[in-house]
Amino acid sequence: MPRIIIDGRPIDCREDISVLQAALDAGGDVPHYCYHPGLSIVASCRLCLMEMKVPNPRTQEPDWSPKLLPACQTPVRDGMEVRFHSERVRENQRSCMEFFLLNHPLDCPVCDQSGECWLQDYSFKFGRAESRMIDEKCKNPKKDVGPHTLLYQDRCVMCTRCVRFTQEISGTSELCVVNRGSRCEIDAFPGKPLANPLQGNVVDLCPVGALLDKQFLFRQRVWLLTSTPSICAGCATGCAIWVDHNQGTLWRLRPRYNPGVNDWWMCDDGRFGWRYVHDGKRIAAPRVRRGSEQTTPDWAAVPQLVRFRIEEHVRRHGGATLAAVLSPFMTCEEAWLLIRVLRDKAPASTLVLGPVPTAGETRHFPVGATGNTVKFTIQAEKCPNRRGIELLLAAAGGNVLTFEQFAEQAGKGEFKGAWIVGGYPQPWVDKATAKLAAQFELLIVQDIFENDLLPGAAIVLPACAWAEREGCFVNARGLIQPFQRALNPPAGAQRDGQYLYEIAGFQGLYSGVRVRAMMAEKIPAFAQLHEPPPMPRHAH
Amino acid sequence: MRDYEPILLRNVGVPEARTLKGYEARGGYRGIRKALGSSPEQIVEEVKKANLRGRGGAGFPAGLKWSFLPKDRTITYLCVNADESEPPTFSNRLLMENDPHQVLEGAMIAAYATRAQVAYIYMRVEFHEQFHVLQRAVDEAYAAGYLGRRLFGHDFDLQVYIHRGAGAYVCGEETGLIESIEGKRGWPRIKPPFPALEGLFRRPTVVNNVETLANLPHLIERGAAWFTSIGPPHSTGPKLFCISGPVRRPGCYEGPMTITVRDLIERPEFGGGMLPGKRVKMVLPGGVSVGVLTANELDMKMDFADPAKYGLLGLGTAAAVVVDTDTDIRLVLRNLARFYALESCGQCTQCREGTSWMYKIAARIAAGAGRRADLDILEQTARNMGMMPGLSICGLPDGATYPIETLVRKFRSELEELIGQQEPARRDAVLQTVN
C-alpha cells in the first residue's frame, strides 16, 4: 500500500490509482470535471493541477516542481509528496473557474442541474464573484441529440465525459466533439442519435446542466428531492440506485456507486421503467368476496380474515391441496413471511416460483465485450429476485414446484386453493393461468394491477411497487442487496411486508432489518449482505 | 559569413534537382549510402555529437530524441512533420518544392538510425503543389528501388506514405499530428507516455521536422565536426530563416545561427533593408508564437539561446515578420489573437476560453472601444493561461500568450495612448453592442 503525502498529511492509498483519486478518497476537496474513475483520463479540464516535489535538476534536492501537474494523470508512488494548498494551485483554480464561466450563460434559475451543479459548487468554493468579461458570450446552440436527451451546448464545460462514456462503456460512440476552440461542441453523428440502452448515464455524468433528461426537464428543483438508496427492480443485475422523490412522488432514478455490480451506471430500461409506480389503475384496497359480491374490509380485519380462510380451507380439503405462487418481485423478507404463514397452517402445502419474465437476451457492454472487458450487463431476466425466492424455497424444503409443474398438476385438479402473488409491472396473467385459477375454491391474489385472476379471487390484497417495499433482493450473481423504502403505497393500500408480518402473527411495524435477523437464524446466507461503499464526498 | 555557401538550399533554383537523376547528379543520396555503412547506433551518436537541434520550433536535440526509443522495440514509426503551420513560416515549403529528394534522403537516414520501417510525411492540406512534387519524388524513389525493400543492398526496408492533414495548426504539435494520422481528431495527447515510447498506433515513434531531416544527408556525408563548425556551439549547423513584411527582399534564406535580427533585415543577402520610407516598429522574429521585439531589440541573435534574454519563448521557426511604423499596433494585436482563437483545439480550459477572450478584447480595442483595464486583463489572462511552464496539455497556449503578453508589455504606452485617443461616440457605440 503506497503512502503519499498530500499537503503535509501522510495518506495510505490503494495501488494503481491517481493522486486525485487518493486525495478524494482521503476526503479532500479537489476540483475536477474531466476525471471520472470509470472513464479514461484526458486531463483536459486542468482544474486538478497540483504541485509535486521532484528532484531539482541542479542540486538533486527535492523541491516543488516549477510546472503544475494534473493530479488525475499522475499515478500514486510510494513516498511522493504533493500539495494543493499553495498559492499557485489556488491561482490556477481561480483562473480556471473564471475561464469556465466566460461563455457560460448563468441561467441557473431555469437550469435543471442547478443545486447539483459542479460549476455552481466550484464557483462558490474556488471562483470569483464577478466576471471581468464585458464582451458578448459565445452562444453555442441547444440541440436534440437523442430520444431521451437534450444538449444545451452553451452550458458545456467540454469535459468530454459523455463522449468517453459512449466510446468506452456503451461502446456505441454516438457522441463526438466538433469544431475548435471556444466553438467546440459535443454532437451526435448525423443519422445516429444518442439512443443506446445506457445513454441516460451521460446526463448523470455531465457535471453541469449541458446534458438533460427530457423526461425530467423542468419537472423538479433538485433541492426539493429526497434521495433514498434502493435497488433497481428492472432486471436481475440489481443495480444500486437512488430513488429521487418529493412528497410521495417519484421523479427520477439515478445509479448509485456499486463496484462490481453496476459500478457507476444503470440502463435506460431501469431508469425510465418506474412510471407504473404512479399508475392510477393500481389496486389500492383489499377486497373480500362473499358470494358474488366483493367488499372492501378494514385493514385491521385482514390478518385474521386471511388466517381464518386458510385454516378453513385446510380443515375442509387438507393442507396438501394448498399452494403458494411466489413472485420474483417480492423481497426475500416478504416471501419468507408468506412461506412461514403457509407452512405454519399447512406443512404439506406446495411452494411455487412464479413466472420469471424475460426479454431478449442478456446484453453486455461495451457492445461486443466478453469476459473481462464487460463493463455493464443488462440481464434478460426482467425481475429482481428470482435467486432470492429460489434460495428461500430451497431452505423451506417440502413440496416445491416450478410454475410449469404447478400449472400441469393444477390442470389435473390436484390443488384446490392457492395464494398467488403477482406484482409484475407488465400484464402477466394469460388465459391458461386465468382458467386454472378459476377452479380454485380458495384463491388469494396479491397483485398490483387488475387482471383476470381478480374476479375469481376470494381475497385480493394490493401489492406494492419495489420503491414502496423494503427488504432485500438477490441479484444474478447471488449478492444479497438490502434496500430501503422510498415511497408510501397508494392511499388505501398497505405495504406487502406490513400485512404479511401481521398475518404471520407479529405485531407492530414491519421492518426489513428485524425480519432479516429472524431469517438469518434459519438461513445463514442472509447474515451476509452486500452493501456498496459510499462514493467519496467530493467525487462526482 | 561572407562566403557562406548554401547547403540546404543549394538546389533551389535548379529545376532538374527535383528529379532523382538530377538530385543524384548534384551529389544526392550519398549521405544515405554512407549512413548504411555504419550501424544505426553510430548514426545516432554522430547526430548527438553534431548537436543537431530540432528545427520545428522547440529546438530539442534530434539525437537525444532518437535515443529515448526503447531498446527492445519491434516496430518503430517515423513521422515527418511537414505541417508547417506557424504563420510567417515557409522554409519547409521551399525545401519540399525545390528539393524533395533531399527531404526523402533525410527521412531515410532518420528511419535507418531509428530502425523505423514506415515513415509518414504529414503534410498540411494547403500544400497542394508541394504535395504533388513530393509524391512524384516518392514515386520516383520507389521506381528506382530507393524506397521499399532491401534498400541499396542493405538489410533496410522503408515504406513512405504522404498523409495530408485537414488544416489545423494544432496538428503540427507532435501528438496532435500522431492522432491525426491515426484518423482521429487532432487533439494533442497527454504526456507521459511520450511518443518515443508510445506514439503512432501505440508504437515507439519519432517525429522530426522537414528541415531537421534535410540537414541529415549533409551532416552524415561531411561529419559532425564539419556540422559543429557552423554557428555557435549551442546552435550548430545551417539554418533557414524566413523574412516577410515591408523589406526589400522578403523570402527564405540560409545562414549560420550567428546572425542577428538586424542582419536578417538589413544585409543584402537576406532582407536587403526596409522598403523606402518604412521604419521598423516591431519584429516577430521566430514565427508569431515566440513573442515580439521592439525596434531597440534588433541585436538579438537568431540562435537557440539568445531569444530568452529578450523575454521570448525561443527561436521558434526563425521566420521573422517585420511590422513597420505605419501599421496600427491594435490591428497587429487583433490579428495575432484571432489566429490562436481560431486554432485552439478546444481541449484544455485555459486555451479554449482564454484565446477567444483575448481575441474579443483585442477586436474591441481595434474597433476603437478599448479600456485601460483591458490591457491589464490581457496581460493577466496571458499569465493565467500558462507561459512557460505551461498549464495545458500542449504548448499552443504558451505560443498564444507570448506574442500577446510581450506586445502589450513592450508597447503598453503606445496602446494606452491609442486608447486615450479613441473617439468617444464610437467607443460608446461599440461598447453598447457588447454588454
Average pLDDT over residues A56-70: 92
- Is the Cβ–Cβ distance between B204 and B75 less than 8 Å? yes
pTM: 0.94
**Mean model confidence pLDDT for chain A:** 95
DSSP H or E run through B274: none
Taking 70 as the threshold, does the pLDDT of residue B1 lie above it? no
Name every chain A residue with its beta carbon within 8 A of the beta carbon of B344: 180-182
Q: Of B367, B399, B371, which is closest to residue B385 (Cα–Cα)?
A: B399
Name every chain A residue with its beta carbon within 8 A of the beta carbon of B364: 135
Contact B391 A184 (CB under 8 A): no
Name every chain A residue with its beta carbon within 8 A of the beta carbon of B357: 99, 102, 133, 135
**pLDDT tens for each residue of A208-259:** 999 999 999 999 999 999 999 999 999 999 999 999 999 999 999 999 999 9
Whether domain A287-527 has CATH 3.40.50.920: the reply is no
Phi, psi of A125 (to 5 degrees): -85, -40
Taking 90 as the threshold, does the pLDDT of residue A290 lie above it? no
Contact B345 A181 (CB under 8 A): yes
The pLDDT of residue A292 is 81
Contact B348 A182 (CB under 8 A): no
Q: For residue B185, give how far its alpha carbon lies from the nearest alpha carbon of chain A (Å).
A: 8
- Which domains can be identified in chain B, with CATH numbers? 15-228 (3.40.50.11540), 239-324 (3.10.20.600), 329-434 (1.20.1440.230)
The three-class DSSP label of residue A317 is helix
Average pLDDT over residues B284-313: 96
Taking 60 as the threshold, does the pLDDT of residue B354 lie above it? yes
Q: For residues B152 and B131, what is the distance between their CA atoms, to the nearest angstrom? A: 26
Taking 80 as the threshold, does the pLDDT of residue B3 lie above it? no
Q: Of A304, A306, A282, A285, which is closest to residue A296 (Cα–Cα)?
A: A285
Name the residue of chain B whose CA is nearest to A102's CA: B353
| ∠ Cα B93 B291 B247 (to 5°) | 55
Nearest beta carbon to residue A43 from set B190, B345, B431: B190
Residue B251 is given by DSSP the state: E
Name the residue of chain A whose CA is nearest to B386's CA: A92
Name every chain A residue with its beta carbon within 8 A of the beta carbon of B345: 180-181
- Is the Cβ–Cβ distance between B200 and B77 less than 8 Å? yes
Taking 60 as the threshold, does the pLDDT of residue B2 lie above it? no
pLDDT band of residue A77 (cuts 50, 70, 90) is very high
pLDDT band of residue A15 (cuts 50, 70, 90) is very high
Name every chain B residue with its beta carbon within 8 A of the beta carbon of A136: 360, 433-435
**Any idea which residue has 520550433 for its cell?**
B57
Taking 80 as the threshold, does the pLDDT of residue B145 lie above it? yes
**Domain range annotation of chain A:** 3-96, 106-278, 287-527
The pLDDT of residue B244 is 97
Average pLDDT over residues B279-288: 96
DSSP H or E run through B164: strand B159-164
Q: Of A269, A489, A249, A472, which is closest to residue A380 (Cα–Cα)?
A: A269
Contact A44 B185 (CB under 8 A): no
Name every chain B residue with its beta carbon within 8 A of the beta carbon of A92: 384, 391
Taking 80 as the threshold, does the pLDDT of residue B435 lie above it? no
DSSP letters of A208-221?
SSSEEETTTTTT--
Name the residue of chain A whose CA is nearest to B377's CA: A132
Test mutation, B353, B371, B394, chain A, max A CBs within 10 A: B353
Contact B390 A103 (CB under 8 A): no
What CATH number belongs to A3-96? 3.10.20.740
Nearest beta carbon to residue A46 from set B350, B361, B434: B350
**Any idea which residue has 524513389 for its cell?**
B141
Name the residue of chain A whose CA is nearest to B392's CA: A46
Nearest beta carbon to residue A135 from set B190, B361, B393: B361
Average pLDDT over residues B312-317: 95
* Number of CB pairs, chain A paired with chain B, less than 8 A apart: 101
Provide the residue type at A188 as one letter.
A
Name every chain B residue with its beta carbon within 8 A of the beta carbon of A163: none
The region of weakest confidence among A289-293, A380-384, B99-103, B373-377 is A289-293
Nearest beta carbon to residue A135 from set B364, B389, B390: B364
**pLDDT tens for each residue of A500-519:** 999 999 999 999 999 999 99
Nearest beta carbon to residue A181 from set B344, B389, B435: B344
Task: Match domain A106-278 to its CATH number in 3.30.365.10, 3.40.50.12240, 3.30.70.20, 3.90.650.10.
Answer: 3.30.70.20
Whether the predicted interface score ipTM is above 0.85: yes
Q: For residues A48 and A31, what is the distance between their CA atoms, to the nearest angstrom? A: 6
A304: cell is 385474521
Contact B341 A157 (CB under 8 A): no
Asked if B190 has any chain A CB less than 8 Å from its own CB, the reply is yes
Chain-centre distance for alpha carbon A319: 40
Q: For residue B350, give how far its alpha carbon lies from the nearest alpha carbon of chain A (Å).
A: 6
The pLDDT of residue A128 is 87
Q: For residues B116 and B179, what is the distance between their CA atoms, to the nearest angstrom? A: 18
Taking 80 as the threshold, does the pLDDT of residue A187 lie above it? yes
Average pLDDT over residues B91-108: 96
Taking 60 as the threshold, does the pLDDT of residue A396 lie above it? yes
The pLDDT of residue B433 is 80
**pLDDT tens for each residue of A402-452:** 999 999 999 999 999 999 999 999 999 999 999 988 889 999 999 999 999
Asked if B361 has any chain A CB less than 8 Å from its own CB, the reply is yes
Contact B357 A68 (CB under 8 A): no
Contact B392 A181 (CB under 8 A): no
pLDDT band of residue B108 (cuts 50, 70, 90) is very high
**Any idea which residue has 525596434 for its cell?**
B295
Nearest beta carbon to residue A95 from set B347, B384, B390: B384
Asked if B73 has any chain A CB less than 8 Å from its own CB, the reply is no
Contact B352 A184 (CB under 8 A): yes
Contact B346 A184 (CB under 8 A): yes
Q: For residues A410 and B376, what is the distance between their CA atoms, to the nearest angstrom? A: 88
Q: For residues B38 and B316, what is the distance between their CA atoms, to the nearest angstrom? A: 33
Contact B356 A95 (CB under 8 A): no
- Is the Cβ–Cβ distance between A333 and A471 less than 8 Å? yes
Contact B384 A180 (CB under 8 A): no
Taking only residues 158 to 187 of chain B, the set having a beta carbon closer than 8 angstroms to any beta carbon of chain A reads 168, 170, 185, 187
Contact A158 B435 (CB under 8 A): no
